[in-house]
Amino acid sequence: RSKLAEARAVLSDLEAQDADLAKQQRHCEREIESSKATLREREERFSVVTTNKEYDSLQLEIEICKKTIAEHETQLLKAIEGQERIQEKIAEEQDVFEEIRAVEQERIDELEGQLGTMQEQIDEVEKSREVVANSIDAQLLQTYKSKKGRRGIRIAAVHKEACGACFHQMPAQMLNEVRVGDRVIHCESCGTIMVWDEQPV
């Protein structure tokens, strides 16, 4: 996996944690608000309590509400602090991500430039090929196009009295005909067009 993909994965993980903590905060805030509403309702009931038993029961309910509020407030503070830390990390990782992306984009631009140069060279070769093709005998050109030897090679030089494409040893008569160059000679084994490029001994 590329450095950019790794940085993106780290960033995505931190953002998921941030969203989770934000969700926890909203949950705690709702629970606190609900518990406070319950607490107010219980406190208002003190004015209508008539027995000690009712008073003790109501007092217990109020203590439970206060404890619940305190617990949710603690959880809320932890979520807020956690989110602050996560957001600091997100800012740091965002910088790292942008740096890596800038470096990779520079590399992409460089490669695209090289591809552009290569395409220009290919276009030039194609133009030269067309010029050469127009100057070659039509029948010979057709023979060249129709023949494709081993590994896609159409033309190969004689090398050590053998076909330069498949290394099949060539008869002396055929070698002589290739050397003279009066007609097109094909390798008996792979069909590649043979040309003479042997250095004199």
Number of independent structural domains in the chain: 2
State how far the Cα of 191 lies from the Cα of 150, in Å rounded to an integer.
Answer: 8
Can you give the CATH number for the domain in which 62 is found? Answer: 1.10.287
- Same domain as 163, residue 125: no
Q: What is the pTM of this model?
A: 0.52
Please report, as a single letter, which amino acid is at residue 167: F
Percentage above 70 pLDDT, the chain: 88
Domain around 76: 3-130
> Tens of pLDDT along 63-87?
999 999 999 999 999 999 999 999 9
* Strand duo 193-195 + 162-163: pairing: unpaired
What pLDDT was estimated at residue 90? 94
From 35, 33, 60, 34, select the one nearest 49 (Cα to Cα): 60
State how far the Cα of 76 lies from the Cα of 32, in Å rounded to an integer.
Answer: 9
CB atoms within 10 A of CB 156: 22
> Tens of pLDDT along 170-191?
899 988 988 888 888 888 888 8
**137 pLDDT tier (thresholds 50, 70, 90):** low
Which of 75, 106, 130 delimits the end of a domain?
130
> Tens of pLDDT along 16-55?
999 999 999 999 999 999 999 999 999 998 888 889 999 9
- Same domain as 163, residue 123: no
Average pLDDT over residues 141-156: 63
Which of 85, 108, 130 delimits the end of a domain?
130
Contacts of 36-39 spanning 24+ positions with Cβ under 8 A: 36/65, 36/69, 38/65, 39/65, 39/66, 39/69
Residue 22 lies in a domain: yes
What SS3 class is residue 13? Answer: helix
